[in-house]
Structure 1
């Protein structure tokens, strides 16, 4: 292939972009990129210019012939793209702060991808992603869409069900973080660890752990439950230790987000106290971002600064670069992504999005079938899948009753009455970003 690769990143003004650029620079020998287009909206132009300036300095420092383009014109950027990554946040961090704060008033967890917050992030994000897909159908019909805009599972579900676009992969850093946590607890190189991961985005379970290719699940669970520290979490999730007997009974490794479902009361209390003391996670991130962009603006800076890891999305962009590299080079390695089920998990509809280990080929991900989830995990996964499907339908139709149904069946919402109260307040709070509801 003589033509260099063209990558388009929508939401290019994101604070995560330097990690993406670093990942592409590291892989240049196997991933010969000629153009990177960073796209944003007018409200993000200042951040786009700052991040774009750093991206150009990083490429120059690496001595690579990659052209970095900055634009507010999405269609111009998409023309003939090979890979399109989406890392956008509709309504910016102010919208996330509302997602987190409003539910707390009703005694419900406020979180950007779970419960009412996850519903509203989906309602705002899905129509924008579907618009991008329409542009891609016209301008780069052979490109892959790699989405890591949250809620990634719900967004992937929406693209699979409500468009004709099948070359979509949802991506999350949680599976990578889970594997890193296992390696850390065992004090071994992550390359020696493998996990069978299956479920949904932010609802994925480690069904088995392998060390040097040998099954190690029971030994790992023993070590995990006898360890005084937690089982590994993320910057944006409070670090609460699991009940050892529960994990032994479950015989699976939950992801950090499972705390919202298995430790709902404790998580609500911790979140409420944190919101009063230091602000919601969005408000904390706003301060972090301010510091990051001051660093990015330094003309002398030509690397990804280590402070970015405090942002909470470590390994996100590296996962995206690995995925693109594996598709381009037909590596047939195993990565955990969100893709169409096609029978890989028996109790989930074939046409739905799941998060599962896949063999990554030039034709995209091929899920590694597991038969079915253990009975202890299956019901919760099915309930969240129902929520995602109905939420995606509400996002596309703008139907109030469908949105209420999605809100009510989410396990974090205690009743239809509370669901309606939260729905009404959040529809009003986010009305500028929800034109489909014709408020």
Structure 2
């Protein structure tokens, strides 16, 4: 087979390498072409060198090109994959820093909450530019695979306004299933069968079967509470499991910022999180992790390049959906996964226009969703709260309506639990002014926002959050990795 895959945001070096090697695990895909594009020539050069090394080491005829000219990369592409972060770590730092001044403590801040909503405002205009290019220069009927957060908002905009065949992809379901299989003592992941449905980052394991036997709430609670690691790292998720009767796909830290109950007071935050790793609830944890990862890659790049000389091992193909979707579409080998698409009746008790994440099957006819799923009422209620925020956020990003943006932030579950309307109005003004370089649709609103900020009487505080850690130096990271290697 010979076709072209374009990867936008390919400067996300580690993830691009994973997608690349996964796809080349499919024997029929040896002759395809990868076109990499990114704003950073520096990052593009690094990732192209790594991928060229992989191709050479494995004796493949695969073509790899790299360009900062996005339209050139998209020309004739049958598949377009996006993993962009608009504004990079600079804008992301404001997504965490500014809400903290108003008492809003986020672990990740990339899906909803104040940070995720502003992230969507930066991303959506760019996503629509991608869609325009796809319609104009990509292959007829090209499929857009979106990995970029905020997943639901980006996918919503691409489908509703970009008019491109789009699917959103995430790995939260797979990670949650791995946890469940572990606590239940499964010898392999294949022993666990499950139906997981909801919205991205708020998906729910509504049916669990271990070797065909149905697993109920009490058994699952007991299994998690007995596990020596997860019982400490996932305290919040276990509490939600006890109250809802259903386990959530999302990590302890992520889930905590989508709900109004667990991060509303500093003393409550420290009660529910675990500091053994960023993903369990650390304030600004993913920002710290992303910063350290970037610094580590820049410093240790020669090691990454050397590692690329190893042969591709198909047994180590990851469970990221992209390669499996492409394999199913091109070879008709059926793949079952969980996909982000417009609802349209798939989940009966969620809004029809929402972007849902639910099971589907892929073959040469496309992605076919399993329809008619009804969520437990508490799960549906939680999802609907976020969907309403997502809808307003998308419409605000399209229209540049700063008042609608403020209403979206006001209705966010965690923001509403922590902040007053006056605080929300000022916080959004401050975030729009700080991120104006990435928010062209709000250019008309920035002067008035600055004027309001100059006269505001709303008090803020300089606060690092309830559980903040400093970014570690390269020397500290080296020492930690050496200690782990010695211990292991």
**For the superposition of Structure 1 and Structure 2, which TM-score range results when normalised by the shorter chain?**
0.7 to 0.9
| Equivalent in the alignment of 1:396 | 398
Aligned partners of 2:238, 2:306: CA distance in 1, in Å? 49
Secondary structure of 1:348's counterpart equals: coil
TM-score, normalization: structure 2? 0.79
Deviation of residue 189 (structure 1)? 0.8
Which of the numbers 237, 242, 251 marks the counterpart of 1:248?
242
| Equivalent in the alignment of 2:467 | none
Secondary structure of 1:300's counterpart equals: helix
Deviation of residue 138 (structure 1)? 1.1
Q: Deviations over 1:211-243 (max 9, x none)?
A: 2233224433431244343269xxxxxx34137
Structure 1 alignment gaps of length 5 or more: 233-238, 306-313
Residue 287 in structure 1 maps to residue 292 in structure 2: yes
Q: Which has the larger radius of gyration?
A: 2
Secondary structure of 1:412's counterpart equals: helix
Aligned partners of 1:334, 1:295: CA distance in 2, in Å? 37
Deviation of residue 321 (structure 1)? 1.6
Q: Deviations over 1:343-392 (max 9, x none)?
A: 01112232321011111233332221243211111111111111111101
Residue 163 in structure 1 maps to residue 169 in structure 2: no
Which of the numbers 352, 355, 358 marks the counterpart of 2:360?
358
The question of whether the paired residues in 2 share the 8 Å contact of 1:115 and 1:411 is answered with: yes
Aligned partners of 2:99, 2:50: CA distance in 1, in Å? 37
Structure 2 alignment gaps of length 5 or more: 447-488
Residue 126 in structure 1 maps to residue 120 in structure 2: no
Aligned partners of 1:174, 1:304: CA distance in 2, in Å? 28
Q: Deviations over 1:50-99 (max 9, x none)?
A: 11101110121121110110111111111111110000011111111111
Which of the numbers 425, 432, 435 marks the counterpart of 1:420?
425
| Equivalent in the alignment of 1:175 | 173
Secondary structure of 2:340's counterpart equals: strand
| Equivalent in the alignment of 2:24 | 25
Aligned partners of 2:68, 2:202: CA distance in 1, in Å? 34
Which of the numbers 403, 419, 442 marks the counterpart of 1:437?
442
| Equivalent in the alignment of 1:236 | none
- Cα 1:351–1:281 change in 2 (3 A) is closer
- Cα 1:250–1:280 change in 2 (3 A) is closer
| Equivalent in the alignment of 2:194 | 195
Deviation of residue 402 (structure 1)? 1.1
Q: How does 1:39-78 map to 2 (within 5 A)?
A: 39-41=37-39, 44-78=40-74
Deviation of residue 143 (structure 1)? 1.0
- Cα 1:304–1:171 change in 2 (3 A) is farther
Larger mean Cα displacement after TM superposition, 321-330 or 191-200:
321-330
Aligned partners of 1:347, 1:162: CA distance in 2, in Å? 24
Aligned partners of 1:369, 1:279: CA distance in 2, in Å? 37
Q: How many matched pairs? A: 418
Aligned partners of 1:117, 1:177: CA distance in 2, in Å? 23
Secondary structure of 2:242's counterpart equals: helix
Residue 301 in structure 1 maps to residue 303 in structure 2: no
- Cα 1:399–1:56 change in 2 (3 A) is same
Residue 319 in structure 1 maps to residue 321 in structure 2: yes
The Cα RMSD (Å) is 2.7
| Equivalent in the alignment of 1:308 | none
Deviation of residue 175 (structure 1)? 0.9
- Cα 1:4–1:395 change in 2 (3 A) is same
- Cα 1:245–1:163 change in 2 (3 A) is closer
TM-score, normalization: structure 1? 0.88
The question of whether the paired residues in 2 share the 8 Å contact of 1:25 and 1:62 is answered with: no
Aligned partners of 1:71, 1:246: CA distance in 2, in Å? 46
Aligned partners of 1:231, 1:124: CA distance in 2, in Å? 37
- Cα 1:33–1:8 change in 2 (3 A) is farther
Secondary structure of 1:372's counterpart equals: coil
The question of whether the paired residues in 1 share the 8 Å contact of 2:325 and 2:335 is answered with: no
Residue 148 in structure 1 maps to residue 144 in structure 2: no
Aligned partners of 2:225, 2:265: CA distance in 1, in Å? 19
Q: Deviations over 1:190-226 (max 9, x none)?
A: 1222221111111111112122233224433431244
The question of whether the paired residues in 1 share the 8 Å contact of 2:264 and 2:414 is answered with: no
The question of whether the paired residues in 2 share the 8 Å contact of 1:207 and 1:251 is answered with: no
Larger mean Cα displacement after TM superposition, 411-420 or 216-225:
216-225
Aligned partners of 2:157, 2:194: CA distance in 1, in Å? 27
Residue 95 in structure 1 maps to residue 100 in structure 2: no
The question of whether the paired residues in 2 share the 8 Å contact of 1:341 and 1:367 is answered with: no
Aligned partners of 2:115, 2:239: CA distance in 1, in Å? 31
